[in-house]
Amino acid sequence: MTLTLFGGPLDGFTAPVEIDDEDPWTAIISDGCAHPGGRSVYAPDAAGRWVWQKDVPRETL
């Protein structure tokens, strides 16, 4: 499913996400990430909006 992301460097962008995953989240390469070449992590909040959680270095995933 494609959803809108909220907050962080990808605020307002849309991205495909797996909403049926037991532990849903997605890490997306982002030019605005705090770590060059890293990813911005988004996950659903209690209301179901996919919100920014943190930025991680590429080698973390």
Q: Which residue has the higher pLDDT, 55 or 20?
A: 55
Rounded average pLDDT over 55-61: 89
What's the pLDDT band for 1 if we cut at 50, 70, 90?
confident
Q: How far apart are CA 2 and CA 51, in angstroms?
A: 14
Residues 13-48 pLDDT 10s: 999 988 787 888 999 999 899 999 999 999 999 998
Judge contact between 52 and 10, C-beta under 8 A.
yes
Range of the domain at 41: 2-60
Report the number of distinct structural domains present in the chain: 1
DSSP string, 9-31: GGTT-EEE--TTSSS--EEEE-T
pTM: 0.89
